[in-house]
Amino acid sequence: MDTKTADTSFFWYKTHIAMTSERIITATIITATIITSGEKHDGKELRKLVEKSQANGIEVEAVIGDGAYSEKENIEYCEDNNIKRIIKLKKEKIENNG
C-alpha cells in the first residue's frame, strides 16, 4: 500500500503472528505467521493463522484478539471448531447482537 504524508510516501506491510501463551518471552513459541500489505484487515487472517498453527502440530484451544477479530465469520469459525474466543467485541457488534 502506498501511504502518503505531507512530505513522504512509503509502502508498508503487516506481520500477523500466532504464538503460544507462555508468559515468559523466551518460552513463547511463534506457531504461524502471515505477511500482508498494510491495508489488509487483521481479522481476515485469523482462520489461516489457526490452521497454520494446527498444521505445525499445535492444539489451538483459544484465540485472543482485539476488535479487528470480532467479525461474525471468526466467531462462527471458533464456535464450529470448539475454540474459546477472548476477543474484544466492537460496539456495533454488541448493539446489533453479532
Q: Is residue 2 part of a domain?
A: no
pLDDT digits (tens, 9 = 90+) for 32-54: 999 988 888 889 999 999 999 99
Residue 3: φ, ψ to 5°: -110, 140
Count of the separate structural domains present in the chain: 1
CB–CB of 45/16 below 8 Å? Answer: yes
Domain range for 38:
11-93
Contact assessment for residue 53 and residue 18, using Cβ atoms and an 8 Å cutoff: yes
Specify if 89 maps to a domain: yes
In a domain, 5, yes or no: no
- SS3 of residue 41 by DSSP: coil
Q: pLDDT tens digits for 76-88?
A: 999 999 999 998 8
Listed in sequence order, the DSSP H helices in the chain are 46-55, 72-80, 91-95
- Measured in whole angstroms, the distance separating CA 84 from the mean position of its chain's CA atoms is 14
> What pTM, to 2 d.p., does this model score?
0.73
